[in-house]
Structure 1
């Protein structure tokens, strides 16, 4: 089974947000050395937790520090931008790292609607035009000209476009255009994944570049040397998810602080529900769960997203999964 990485440049309590960006660069080098297939970067705006707001810039920095691993966006929130400008940015990235660029796009705002309108005053209309924007993006990244306009620089390779989503909409669009599809399993704890992947495969229309459907799941996972240690470090994300349901966003808290504070009685069922579905534990435990998931969905690649308050814990988790699951 191939494993890839989705990194979100998560802010850590007690540290500057800029440190999260630099940690992403170091993690990319670390994961390339471990043998991961791809390193993807998310896009969020005006969010005090996930501070990676410009994946295309981070991709350029990672391209300069790596030589093998594929580098991608997961994704560019296309309604904020011009499809031509995105095509130009990713053609430049393809020139920097030939044959290694994934262009993942999504329709969601990656933040609240006020922020979306600040990025693009016509955000609502642009979201409705998402299918045509994807079609334009396909043309400008792969054809010499589209609508009499060329996206430069040209070269022998073109970015590989992926559709990202957590609902049936993205699955059907990817199938219609003959594009690879990534389902955000971590975003929904798997809810809707089976239906979306089945729709994608059933409706898939072969394209020249992708004659067969190609799908993956993005899964949140954390491995440590012992199950107890992994559960302890997972407290940081559990606290964040409980707070998120109340509309409270902030940097990732230290697990020791979360343990000392505890969870309110009303939050315990929420936490228990998360833990029942979590890919958290000792290396063999997590590896077995990931293999079972890949087998159930008939996939040969999963994308792993990991949060931890201590960057060394996160790197250790990726190393353990590389050793036990690949």
Structure 2
């Protein structure tokens, strides 16, 4: 009777040493996101963060979690990994920001069939870059090597963010009044939504990521990282009475903004208030996608919106512009008529 071979975890497709080497490689960029409230270092069983209670009378924790979706498929196909982690962070911190919260810390989850440091390292370094842009600490995460669960070369990402806001300063739309103005902040492209439709359009149109769109490739346009609005909004909040905010993700401007409008109010958005980036024109034309379908699938050029009093529009625009944002006056808040939609694009 032949003797059975001695098996190891590596024989099953999991390389523990590769994971340890990856931790060493990402240690420096992760440490660069460290805030004073972080306790301990990378590699513990849990990330420790001391809540800055000295700055708050009644602190409220705000949490958010998300992924990147099928934009990952394009990044993998194009072998562009140095921006996709920014998308992951942005999708979480921009959501937390809507409440007026300051993002404090972030954790990531990276899962793949076989760990390849040439792929994983730039991805996680880009997560650290997203955290740097958001002012949040990357205090932990998980790298899972799961042969048989993913195809060779594939990976998936998920993220989790925690922020804090003073109870009396939280923003939920309840202070909106008739006559308030809706401002929109420009997106950097399609951000991280609608990519199943994007990939279908590429297929139907016979286009590739190398197809040119004006002075850039489709890869450049479609893989531009999601814009992180945290620092600009954090600069704005002490100076302007912001009465509502919305992160424009899947569902588009109307559906996302409707989530923060009180039942007795509505908003009319002037579609002519901004010019959508060329990538959305290309997607609509190449896929023969209707205006209505574009508006409910993509951000169409507006990645974040906020409501301020009419007499504070100029100051809000100045602060946001100085912070690097492109600002558009989209419309106004008014009384909602019976059975009317909360947000109407005209």
With the length of structure 1 as denominator, give the TM-score of the two structures: 0.25
Which structure's CA Rg is the greater one?
2
Structure that is richer in helix per residue = 1
Q: Normalized against structure 2, the TM-score is what?
A: 0.24
Question: Which of the pair is proportionally richer in strand?
Answer: 2
Identify which of structures 1 and 2 has the higher relative contact order when contacts are C-alpha pairs closer than 8 Å and 6+ apart.
Answer: 2
